Every structure is written in C-alpha cells, then in structure tokens.
Amino acid sequence: MNLMKRTTVACAFCFVAAAVALADGETAPARDPKQPVDTAYTERIHRYTTQPYFTSPLVDYLPASKTVPTPQTVLGDISGAPGILPYAEDVYKYMRLLEKATPRVKVFSIGKTEEGREMIAVAVSSEENIKNLEENRARLAKLADPRTIKLDDAEADKLVAQAVPIYYITGTIHSPETGAPTALMELAYRLAVDESPYIKEIRDGTLTLITPVVEVDGRDRMVDIYKWHLAHPKEFFPWLVYWGKYVAHDNNRDAMGVTLKLTENVLNTYVGWKAQVLHDLHESVPYLYDNTIGDEPYNAWIDPILADEWQIIGWNNVSAMTKFGMPGVFTHGDFDTWSPGYLMFIAALHNGISRLYETFGNGGADTEERTLQPEDYARTWYRQNPPLPKVLWSQRDNNNYEETALLTSLHFFNENKRMFLKNFYLKAKRSTMKPGAEGPAAYVLPADDPRLGLQAELLQVLLKQAVEVSRAKAAFTVTLPAKKSKESVKGKEKKEEKAEPSTPTTREFPAGSYVIRMDQPYSRIADALLDHQYWSPDDPQKTPYDDTGWTFGELFHVQVTRVTDTKVLDVPMDRVTEPRAPGGVKGDGTVFAINNSAEPALATLRYRLKNAAIEAAEEPFESGGKKFNRGSFLVRNVNRADLDRTASELGVQVSALGSAPSVKTHAVHAARVAFIHTWLSTQTEGWWRLALDRLGIPYDYMSTQTVAKIPDLNAKYDVILFPPVGFNAGVNPVVNGIPTAWGNPLPWKNTPETPNLVGKNDSTDDMRPGLGWEGVARLQEFVQKGGVLLTATDTSSLALALGFADGISTQNANKMKIIGSVLGTRLVDDASPIAYGYDEKGAAYCDNGPIFSLSSIAGQRGRRRLGPEIHARPTGRGSMDDPDFNVGRISVEAPEEPKAETWESPPVMNEQKRNGFRVIPAALRPRVIFRYADGKDLLISGLVEGGDEIAQHPAVVDAPSGKGHVVLFSINPVYRGETWGTYSIVLNTILNFDSLNAGRKDAPQ
C-alpha cells in the first residue's frame, strides 16, 4: 500500500472542505494545524486503513496530548488494529484512565448485567459542562416535563438557550458486531483532546454520553471466541450460541417489556439524564447504513416532529460523508420503523430522537477480503455511491466509518441544538396535551379485574418505562364512544359478539382502579404498549422487519379500557410507585382455598411451599359465599403464618374455609422439570428460561446431547420442556446437528483462552452433534412410560415429524401471513387442567403457526378431501328444499353426514371402521384445549393475511401417548416478556403433569 498517496488524497479532501467552510461559514472538518499529531498512532491508522477512501479528515490522524493517554495504553495497539478485541473490562479501564487524566471526562456506573458485570456511561464535554452537570440536568428536566413550567413556551425558550443537550451513544448490544468499543474509546479521546474548531464546538456545546458496551456478558464471550480463534488460526471456531445469559439478537427487542438488565440500565440512563438522542451502533450492512429513516410503515405513536428529525439528521449525515468521498453511506433502505422493541426506540417514545447505524464488520478484528451480493453493491436512488463489490476490510475501516459518522452527526446536532432542544420540549409538551389532541385521555385498569397479579405485572412494565401510574380514590363513571358498525369485508358475516352499541355508553369503575393518564410527558410509550396495532395486508411493505402486534393488555390477559372522555382526568387519584396485588390469608378455618384465574403466581406458590399438600378442584365450587373456578387450589399441611407471608409476597389471595368443599380433586405436585436446548440457537428458549427464573420455577437445563445420554429420564423428571429452537429448525438440524464428517470439534467450554464462555449456562466439547436418534428414542420412551413432553411452534412440528403423537398433522400455509401478531383464541375444553383459570375468550402470540389438524385415524394427514366439497344438494329436479329423484327407482334418503368442527377430529366413518386397525381408540385421541378464534375474530393486533388457513384450528393440544402425554403449542406462550397471560398454560401443564386426563370425557380406563 502506498502510504504517501493515501495521505495526499486525505489532505486534498481537507483542502476542499476548508474551501467549503470559507464559502458558507461552516466550520471545516479539519484538524488544528497548531496542535501536534501523535505520529506513531497516526502512522498506524494509515497502515490499517485498507483504502484511502475508507477514511476522512476527521479520523485520519490522532491529536497528541502530553497528559491524556490514547487507547494504545490499554490496547497495546491503536483502536481498530488487527487482532485486537478488548474485553469490556479493558474498555472501562481506558475510560477511567481518561477520567483521571482530564476533567472533560467522567465515568458513571449504570448498573449490572444478569451475570454481575458492570455497565458504564462515559460523559465527555468541556470542563465547564462536566462541572455543571447537575444544573444542566435540572434545566433539561424542566424541558422534559413541561408541566413543571406550566407549558410556558417563553420559559422553555430561556431554558433552551442555556441548556447543553445530551447525545447518548450505545455500542455493541449485538456481540458479534465487534467494532464499536474501540471506535468509542478513540471517539472519547478525540472529543476530550482535539483542539480543532470542529471538535471543540462539539465539546463546548454538547455533552456526549457513551455506553461503550451494552451487552457486556456477550462481549466477553465474543472476545473469548476471538481469542480462541487467534490461538487456533487454522481451525473453524465456535459460533456465539449464547450472548447474554438469556437471549442473543433479541436483546434488541426488549424495549417494550424491559425484562433484561441492559434495557433497564440504558432506559434509566437515557431518562435519568434527560438525553435528547439515543444512538445505537450495529454492524451488518456495508458500509454505513443509517437505518433510522428506514421505510414505512412508521410506528403510529411517534410524534411527527420525530419523523422529521430522523430525516434532517440522517440526510445530513449521508451528505457530510458523501463529501468526504466515503462510499457505501446511505439511509432509507428496507427497515420499517413499526415495532418499538428496539433499544434505540426508548428515545423515540420518550420524546427524544432514536438513531441506529449498521456498519460493516468482520465479526472480530481480522482483516479480510469480503465479497458482496449484487443487492448490496447496486446503485439505488438512496445509495448513489454504493459499496464496492469486493474489498479488503479491516476493523480500522469500520472504526473510521463509525467515528466519522458520529462526529459529523454530533457536529450537525450541536450546530442545530437549539432547534433540537426546542423540539425535545415540544414533543414533551405535545405528549402532555395528548388527551385534548388525538387522545385518548387515559387507560383504565379496573380494580375488580380477576387477575390482579397480572395487572400488577403490567403496571410494573409501565413504571419501568417511567410512566406515571395513578389510582382512583373513589368509583367513577366515564362515557365510552359509540362503536362504528363493523361490517365484515365480505358483508355477510357478523362478529360472534352481540351487536356493538351504536350510541355512547357509560362505564363505572370501582375505587382503586388504576389510571394511566395521557397528560404526562411519557404518555406515548404507554399508549403504544396498551393500544391495538393494525398492519394492513395491503400495506406496500410486504416484509415486516419484526413483530406487527404487541398489545400488552391482551397478551397479559388483563382488562385495559381506552378512555377518550377527558372527565377521567378530574377523578381524584394518587400516584402509585409500587402497585401490588393484594395477597394473604383471610377468614377462619384450616382448609385454605385459592381461586384459580390462571395467574403464574400460583405456580410460584406451589414451588415455594414445598411441604404443603396442594390439590386442585376438578369442578368449580362455592364456599363461604365465594365462587371458585375449576382448578382452584386447596392447601393443607401448612402453617397459616407461612402461607400468609408467601401469599402476601406473591399477591395471592387465600380464603381460609371452615371445611373442605365436596368437590373432586387431584394432587398438584411440584413437578421435576428438565428443560432442553439445542446448540443451534438458544435465544427463543432463552425467553422461557427468563420467565421461569422470574417465577422461581426450578428446572434442569440441558442440551439435546445431554438428554440423549440420560438412561432413565422418568426416574429424574416428570416434565420435559422443549421450547422453540427458532428459524423453524426441523428434524435434520435438531437430530443430526451440524455435520461432523469434516472440520474440527467446536467446543463451548471454559479454557484459559475462553474464561467467560460458559457463564451460567451450559457447556460441551463439541457443539456440532444434535439430539441423535438415540436421543429421539429416549424422549419417546420417556413419554411412553408416563412423562409429559411440552413443545411449542417448531419443536411441535418436530415432535409430529418424529411421530411422537398420533392423530395430529401440520399443514403448510398457502397464503397465510401472520408476522408476530396477537391472535384471538377460544377455550375448547375447560375441564382440562391445562386450561385451569382461563376464560372462554383469550389472546395469544402467534408467528405463522404451525397449523394443526386432527384425525382419529393414525398416520392419516389432515382433513383434506379430493374433489369438490358438496354441501348443498346437487343439480337435478326440484328446488333447494324439494329433493331430487332417480328416474326408475324409489329414491332413498342419504344418511346424515356426521359433522365436526375445524378443531375436532372428523368422526370415524363406517367405511373406516372396517378392519379399522388404524382407528385411534377414543381415549387415546388428541384433546384440543385451546383453538384459534374464527376467521373474523382472529386478528386482535398486528398483521393477519390469509388467516382462514389457521382460524379455528387447534392452538394447544394434549396428545396422550403410551402412559404419558405430548402437549403441543401452535402459539408461542412464552415470548419476550410480553405474553404473561399465556404463561399459565405451560405452568398448568407442569403442575398437573400426572392428572392431565382429569375431566376427559372419554378418559382411559
């Protein structure tokens, strides 16, 4: 590489930029010629940059400092050097060295990860700004909550003129996207040290806040793998099968449920600092894609001011880098901005500006030749200077792009900070004025909801989102608007419900009902979570980037009423900071009864009270004037004080009864649970682990390799959970694994080179082998001998493909498109313990099925017929109700054709009974517990296209097999901390594992 040539090119750009600056008065992006350069560091920047156009005048040198250490002090080489990937600890060490060396940097600890690693935020600004952090925070807090200045625009203008805005940058939430930490180390140095007017303006005018590593647990694992790779350069290296303790890529889908520590810590930092921007750094697309502007549809709940800000900053960013001659910088593209689940979206729905970069990376710090796909290097209207088809790409190139883009963004943001600060205020003000504008006025969660525990969980999510929650001091009445008549598209079909009221109605809510007021600064996030989503099947965007529906009230099975009547805001109410479901023992007696409303806390209680004898009532009953649902607990052998304490903690209401009700019961055991994962992917099951851990349900976590080696599974376990693998993994990948006929073993275990790999999860000498056919046989034997195997989505398809259950088939969807939506469900068999506590109508998360169909004939596929279905009478004489005849003989009436609903097995026909060795005996046929709602009631939230293919089909099926059961889910009941309402379907299966046939009408003898 010709270094001289490159330098000349870079300088030529400096000159051009300087000339532009003279023309329009902008500050040139060029170094201060009076400040000395760190020549050794700069020489390495040039050496590691693979093409002259992969850099810019902002980053092709490093200013020297006598007092402030460069990243080289900790890294041993410069940021972006080949072979260098620092652990989070090293990144922090450097940031703290900076803090010691200059008053322009201050480091804050912002919390811990699930595995106990620290997360930090680094503030970089002028000495004066760092000194005045608290005064500035007070100013920003007033802008963030315009109620504090009585929505006075003149007062806001004064604050806007004085305040220093905060631009918050977050790095490497996605662990294989490795470039950000070193880029951010160097960025912090530049912002603290560089005296060029361009950088000085940023430093003096804006506070840059940096969390260099968001997924700290995953970062350390990724560095381990990279170190292993460096030590075994000729071998294949293991893929990063675990990132954080629970999930991988989905850590960037948690900004709704806020179940992960990293989300909570970043959210608290963003909201606590009253930052204006949250800018999250990723790597995937060459070379720099600002996906913030993205594509339609935009999230319906954002302020349009924000949509304009995305455009303003994004296009300026592209423009600035275009002028530097850096190829492959673009915005727009195919990312829709619908789901608010991304980390950056914390800002979007808290009155800030969300931003995201995709840069190009090699998944490590090797310099590699990279070949692009045609769609990646094609010139398009929004990418006039596209990436090159084939390049040598280095981590330094990545760092050059990230830093250049961030610096131009920071500069542009700073130049326009009064506008952005004013917008920040305006967005907050418009949020507080929501009730009188687009509405609603509030959401109300009634005090008489039968699921107060789940209600409290939902309120906790809102509180984590910094939403204000209030509680009405007295009963109140609001007017609900008239609903428009819902004529279905086809015109004929009517909804199951009685006709919707066509005139306004009123509704009374009892005292103690929770009110989420919309006249508060963070009303938009509450509105976005509690409202319903509709993604039109006709939307021009045909490939939703993520989930299309998420309505939290529906997924939590909690009543939420959208109230547009602004009188609700006059109801006397108090702010609540710790909403708790009431719990504890009431009444006199020695038999304790707990009503079952499908609240997960019941399972927690069962496991906490290890020695108590707990039974479930198989029928509803009444006692002491109180009604108890089927499945209600009767608790004996327990000290009242212990029960009272546990029930209070868990928000479970217990009634002490004078005598046991005369109702059939069965024991509810604390089942021994095994939990299986594959080595292919652990993310989708990770959400299940997270939920079980939150609820205190113990389980043994093991891989498909391990379960295959346990000789007698029944001796150790009652229930085996096999949650979804993800990406519709089928028989070949799960059973056979990754081919072992070539290549080297891929270990996932702790070694001197990989001290962080295993963490608190699992390990293996070789990730490649799968469950194996022996493992399949073991699982089958487990079920045959009386165990319960629970599967969901792709593992349900897998279990059926492997022949674990008779009488169930899956169909391929033709036109159906259900992308992460909330669908209506119906309870089919309320006597099954799996359904205990559930209502007739429910909601569940579904992502394209699978579509189950039942049959009473073993080995027979679904209910498809050959030829046309003849429902009406055929052509002939007479009329519709005047029968046809057969000339020359007396007509006979055809026997009535037996009918079955879509979710049922078709009745066995006489012809099938002849030598019917395939006919499954009634007691062994699958039992449908829940089904999907009818087509017209299927969509609750999100996108449903071609929904008739899954409408009315089984959603949860209990298939007896040998002495045991396979319980198959088409829905995913445990997902992203958003589906609390369906958790109990899983928990009921676990607790009633040895009584699943209870209430079965054709129970085996």
Residues at the interface with Zn ion (CB under 5 A): 174, 177, 282
- Nearest distance in Å: CB 239, Zn ion: 15
Helices marked H in 787-900 — which ranges? 794-801
Helix (H) or strand (E) holding 791: strand 788-792
Nearer to Zn ion, 282 or 608 (CB): 282
Spatial CB neighbours of 104, under 8 Å, sequence gap ≥ 6: 124, 125, 126, 127, 130, 191, 192, 203
CB 369 within 8 A of CB 391: yes
Q: Is 280 or 718 the residue whose CB approaches Zn ion more closely?
A: 280
In whole angstroms, how close is the CB of 483 to Zn ion at the nearest point? Answer: 42
Comparing CA positions, the residue from 692, 672, 676, 693 lying closest to residue 115 is: 693
Closest CB 358 distance from Zn ion, rounded Å = 7
For 867, left (φ over 0), alpha (ψ -120 to 50), or beta? left
Task: Give the nearest distance from C-beta 284 to Zn ion in angstroms.
Answer: 6
Tokens standing for residue 244: 């954080």
DSSP state, 36? P
CA torsion, points 618, 622, 627, 633, in degrees to nearest 10? -40
576/463 Cα distance (integer angstroms): 9
CB of 688 to Zn ion, least distance (A): 23
Q: How far apart are CA 101 and CA 126, in angstroms?
A: 14
Nearest approach, Cβ of residue 85 and Zn ion (Å): 17
Provide the token pair at 575: 């702010």
For residue 975, the minimal CB distance to Zn ion (Å) is 20
Report the sign of the C-alpha dihedral through residues 97, 98, 100, 106, in that order.
negative
Tell me how far, at minimum, the Cβ of 340 lies from Zn ion, in Å. Answer: 17
Q: Which two tokens stand for residue 564?
A: 């547009």
Regarding beta strands 469-472 and 514-517, do their DSSP bridges make them parallel or antiparallel, or are they unpaired?
antiparallel
Our CB check for Zn ion shows the closer of 282 and 826 to be 282
List the end-to-end C-alpha distance of the chain, in Å, as a whole number. 83
> Which residue, 363 or 769, is less far from Zn ion as judged by CB?
363
Please, what is the Cα angle at 870 between 866 and 871, to 5 degrees? 135
Phi and psi at residue 654, to the nearest 5°? -115, 135
The residue (of 178 and 706) whose beta carbon lies closer to Zn ion is: 178
Say if strands 118-124 and 368-371 run parallel, antiparallel, or are unpaired. Answer: unpaired
Q: Which is nearer to Zn ion, 174 or 451 (CB)?
A: 174
Closer to Zn ion by Cβ: residue 361 or 544:
361
Residue 246 CB, shortest distance to Zn ion, in Å, is 17
The residue type at 206: T
- A 10 A CB-CB count for 590 gives 12
Indicate the residue among 176 and 837 with the shorter CB distance to Zn ion: 176
Q: How far is the CB of 253 from Zn ion (least distance, A)?
A: 11
Q: Which is nearer to Zn ion, 176 or 446 (CB)?
A: 176
E strand intervals along 920-1005: 927-932, 939-941, 944-945, 954-961, 964-969
> From CA 428, how far away is CA 569, in angstroms rounded?
18
Judged by beta carbon, residue 46 or residue 282, the one nearer Zn ion is: 282
Minimum Å gap between C-beta 174 and Zn ion is 3
Shortest Cβ 180–Zn ion spacing (Å): 10
Q: Which of 627, 564, 569, 570 is nearest to 593 (CA)?
A: 627
The rounded distance, in Å, linking the Cα atoms of 131 and 925 is 73
Taking the least distance from each CB to Zn ion, the nearer of 169 and 924 is 169
Amino acid at 306: L
CB-side exposure of 638: number of CA atoms within 13 Å?
28
> Quick check: 317 and 324 in contact, CB under 8 A?
no
Nearer to Zn ion, 177 or 402 (CB): 177
Nearest distance in Å: CB 173, Zn ion: 7
Between 239 and 534, CB nearer to Zn ion: 239
Give the 3-state secondary structure of residue 165. coil
Q: Which is nearer to Zn ion, 177 or 250 (CB)?
A: 177
Q: Is the CB of residue 704 less than 8 Å from the CB of residue 729?
A: no
In the structure encoding, which two tokens stand for residue 474, read together?
């007295």
**Full DSSP string of 519-586:** SSTTHHHHHHHHS--B--TT-S--S-SS-S---HHHHTT---EEE--GGGGGS-EEEESS-----EEE
Task: Single out the residue of 810, 811, 786 nearest to residue 963, CA to CA.
Answer: 786
Please state the closest distance from residue 214 (CB atom) to Zn ion, in A.
Answer: 10
Q: Which residue, 807, 812, 804, 854, is CA-closest to 955?
A: 854
Per DSSP, the residues of 584-650 read EEESSSSEEEE--SS-THHHHHHHHSTT-EEEEESS-EEETTEEE-TT-EEEES--HHHHHHHHHHH
Shortest Cβ 330–Zn ion spacing (Å): 17
Output the CA angle 300-305-307, nearest 5 degrees: 55
Minimum gap (Å) between residue 177 Cβ and Zn ion: 5
Residue 798, classified by CB atoms within 10 Å of its CB into exposed (0-12), middle (13-18) or buried (19+), is buried
Closest to Zn ion by CB, 174 vs 936, is 174
Q: How far is the CB of 218 from Zn ion (least distance, A)?
A: 11
- The answer to whether residues 667 and 636 touch, using CB atoms and an 8 Å cutoff, is no
Q: Which is nearer to Zn ion, 279 or 282 (CB)?
A: 282
CB nearer Zn ion, residue 337 or residue 596? 337
Strand, helix or coil for residue 152: coil
Nearer to Zn ion by Cβ, of 279 and 826: the residue is 279
Least separation in angstroms between residue 5's CB and Zn ion is 35
